[in-house]
C-alpha cells in the first residue's frame, strides 16, 4: 500500500467539488442495468451456494413421476383423452409443487441478506430500494421459470397429439408464470416485513397456503350458511303410476353460492383452470378434464342456484320434462369467465407485495424492526 500513495492521491476527485444538492434521478436505462446487476448477483449467489440442482432433480422426478402415472392410468384411452389428462395433471402438479418450492426462493431474500450483513453494503450504493427488490424478484422468477420449463415438454406432447390447442397450452403456461411471480413477490414482502428469517418463511408459506387451501376451506365452511329455504319445483319419480317423472312442489334449501364464490376466485388453481380455454365440444370426448370441472364448478357457484325446476329423476331416458330444466352448459356460458377477476386479484397481491418490500428496504430507515441492527 505504502508504495502506491501517489496513485491513491490522484483518485478521489471524481465527484463534483461543489456538492449536488438536488435529488439525483435515474434514467430507465440506468435502472434496468441496476436491476440486472442485482438479479445477476442473486442468481450467481444462489446457484453457487445452494443445492439448487438437487431441488431441480427432485422437481423433474416429481413432475415426470406424476406424468408417468397419468400415462399408465390412461393406457386404455384414446390419445386425445390421454393428452387432456396429461395436460391437466401437469398443470396442477406444476402449480401445486410451485406453491411449495417457489416461495422458498424469496422467503429469506431480504432479511437473510441483512443477517449476513450484505444488505447495507448494497444500500449505500446507487442502487435504489425498487431496483434492489425488482432485481431480487426477477432472479427468483427466472429460477421459477426454470421449473416451468421442465414441464414444457409435456405441453409440447399434448400439442403434438392434438389433444390441446396451442392457445390452451400457452394460456396455461402464461397464467402459471404469473402465479409463480406472485408467490415470489409475496415471499419478498414477508422477508422485508419480518426481521427473522424463520418468521418470514412461515409467513410466506401461510400466505401462499392461504391462497391455495384456505380459500377453499373458507368457501366450504361458509357454504352451509348461505342456505335459504324456498319452495322449489322438482321433477321426481313417483311409484304410484309406475315409475313416472312428475313435477312436484317441495320445500328445499338452496345454497346461494353467489354470495361466497369470490372466495374461490383468487385461488391459483381456479385461476389456472378457468383461464385455460375450454376444449372444443366433442361428442367423443369422454375424458374427465379436472381443469374444466373446476372451471365449470366455479362459474356455476358464481351465478348461484338455478331458477327453474330441479331434475331429480336422474333418468337417462327422455322424459316428459324435456326442455324445462335449464342445462348447466348454458348456465355456465351465461356466467362468463372468473379468471380475469382472480388473476386481477393475484396481480394486485403481487404488485402490493412488491410495493411493501420496496417500502421496507428504503433507506435512511426511520423505524427499525425490533432488535435489528443495520450493521
Partner 1 sequence: MSVSTVRGAHAADPTPGLEAHDLSRAFGDVRALDHVDLVVPRGGVTALVGPNGCGKTSLMLVLASLLSPDTGHVRVLGVDPAKDPRGVRRLLGWMPDGFGTFEALTVREVLRTMAGAHGLGAGAARPRVEELLHTLRLDPLADRPARVLSRGQKQRLGLAQAMVHSPQVLVLDEPASGLDPRSRLELRDTVRALAAGGVTVLVSSHILDELEEMCDRAVVMDAGRVVASHDLTAAPALLRWRVGSLDVEALRAVLAARGIEATDVPSPDGDWGRRGALDVDVADEADAHALLRLLVDHDVPVFTFGPATTGGRLEAMYLSATREERS
Ligand X SMILES: Nc1ncnc2c1ncn2[C@@H]1O[C@H](COP(=O)(O)OP(=O)(O)OP(=O)(O)O)[C@@H](O)[C@H]1O
Q: Interface with ligand X by CB under 6 A: which residues?
A: 368, 371-373
The residue behind cell 400415462 is 71
Write the burial class of residue 123 (CB in 10 Å: 0-12 exposed, 13-18 middle, 19+ buried).
buried
d(CA 306, CA 300): 9
Stretch that binds partner 1, among 17-25, 153-161, 184-192, 240-248 (CB under 8 A): 17-25
Applying CB under 8 A, which part among 18-26, 142-150, 285-293, 329-337 lies near partner 1? 18-26
Residues 9, 224, 284, 314: which binds partner 1 (CB under 8 A)?
9
Question: What is the spatial distance between Cα 52 and Cα 142, in angstroms, rounded to a whole number?
Answer: 13
State the cell numbers at 327.
342445462
Choose which of 32, 44, 225, 250 interacts with partner 1 (CB under 8 A).
44
- 7 or 367: CB nearest ligand X: 367
Q: Is 34 in the site for partner 1 (CB under 8 A)?
A: yes
Q: Let me know: does 190 contact 107? Beta carbons within 8 Å.
A: yes
Residues 332-371 that bind partner 1 (CB under 8 A): 363-366, 368, 370
Measured from the CB atom, the residue of 47 and 206 that comes closer to partner 1 is: 47
Q: By CB under 8 A, is residue 240 in contact with partner 1?
A: no
* Angle made by CA atoms 118, 185, 130, in degrees to the nearest 5: 55
Pattern of binders to partner 1 over 111-150, x per CB under 8 A?
A: -----xxx-xxxxxxxxx----------------------
- Min separation Cβ 120 and partner 1, Å: 6
Q: Is the dihedral of CA 315, 318, 321, 323 positive or negative?
A: positive
Give the C-alpha separation, 63 to 94, whole Å: 7
The answer to whether 32 contacts partner 1 (rule: CB under 8 A) is no
- Distance (Å, rounded) from C-alpha 193 to C-alpha 15? 35
* Measured CA distances, 346 to 150, 258, 313 (Å): 24, 20, 41
- Smallest gap from Cβ 124 to ligand X, in A, equals 17
Q: Which of 215, 31, 180 is nearest to 106 (CA)?
A: 180
Which three cell numbers mark 97? 409443487
User: Smallest gap, in angstroms, from Cβ of residue 117 to ligand X?
Assistant: 13
Residues forming the site for partner 1 (CB under 8 A): 1-2, 4-5, 7-15, 17-24, 26, 30, 33-34, 37-38, 41, 44-45, 48-49, 116-118, 120-128, 363-366, 368, 370, 374-375
Amino acid at each position: 500500500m505504502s508504495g502506491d500513495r501517489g496513485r491513491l492521491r490522484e483518485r478521489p476527485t471524481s465527484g463534483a467539488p461543489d456538492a449536488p444538492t438536488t435529488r439525483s434521478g435515474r434514467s430507465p436505462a440506468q435502472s434496468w442495468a441496476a436491476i440486472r446487476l442485482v438479479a445477476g448477483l442473486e442468481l450467481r449467489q444462489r446457484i453457487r451456494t445452494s443445492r439448487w440442482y438437487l431441488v431441480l432433480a427432485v422437481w423433474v422426478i416429481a413432475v415426470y413421476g406424476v406424468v408417468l402415472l397419468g400415462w399408465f392410468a390412461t393406457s386404455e384411452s384414446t390419445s386425445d383423452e390421454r393428452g387432456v389428462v396429461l395436460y391437466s395433471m401437469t398443470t396442477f402438479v406444476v402449480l401445486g409443487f410451485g406453491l411449495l418450492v417457489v416461495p422458498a426462493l424469496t422467503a429469506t431474500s431480504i432479511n437473510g441478506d441483512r443477517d449476513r450483513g450484505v444488505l447495507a453494503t448494497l444500500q449505500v450504493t446507487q442502487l435504489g430500494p425498487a431496483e434492489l427488490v425488482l432485481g431480487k424478484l426477477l432472479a427468483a422468477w427466472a429460477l421459477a421459470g426454470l421449473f416451468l420449463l421442465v414441464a414444457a415438454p409435456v405441453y409440447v406432447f399434448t400439442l403434438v397429439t392434438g389433444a390441446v390447442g396451442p392457445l390452451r397450452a400457452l394460456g396455461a403456461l402464461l397464467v402459471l408464470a404469473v402465479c409463480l411471480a406472485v408467490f415470489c413477490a409475496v415471499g419478498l414482502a414477508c422477508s422485508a416485513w419480518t426481521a427473522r428469517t424463520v418468521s418470514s418463511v412461515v409467513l410466506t408459506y401461510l400466505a401462499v397456503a392461504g391462497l391455495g387451501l384456505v380459500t377453499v376451506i373458507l368457501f366450504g365452511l361458509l357454504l352451509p350458511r348461505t342456505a335459504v329455504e324456498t319452495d322449489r319445483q322438482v321433477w321426481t319419480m313417483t311409484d304410484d303410476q309406475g315409475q313416472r317423472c312428475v313435477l312436484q312442489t317441495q320445500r328445499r334449501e338452496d345454497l346461494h353460492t353467489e354470495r361466497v364464490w369470490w372466495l374461490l376466485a383468487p385461488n391459483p388453481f381456479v385461476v389456472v383452470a378457468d383461464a385455460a380455454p375450454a376444449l372444443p365440444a366433442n361428442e367423443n370426448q369422454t375424458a374427465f378434464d379436472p381443469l374444466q370441472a373446476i372451471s365449470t364448478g366455479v362459474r356455476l357457484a358464481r351465478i348461484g342456484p338455478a331458477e327453474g325446476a330441479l331434475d331429480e329423476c336422474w333418468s337417462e331416458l327422455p322424459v316428459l320434462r324435456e326442455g324445462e330444466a335449464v342445462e348447466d352448459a348454458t348456465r355456465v356460458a351465461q356466467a362468463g369467465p372468473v379468471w380475469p377477476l382472480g388473476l386481477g386479484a393475484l396481480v394486485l397481491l403481487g404488485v402490493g407485495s412488491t410495493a411493501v418490500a420496496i417500502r421496507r428496504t428504503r433507506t435512511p430507515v426511520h423505524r427499525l424492526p425490533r432488535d435489528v441492527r443495520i450493521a
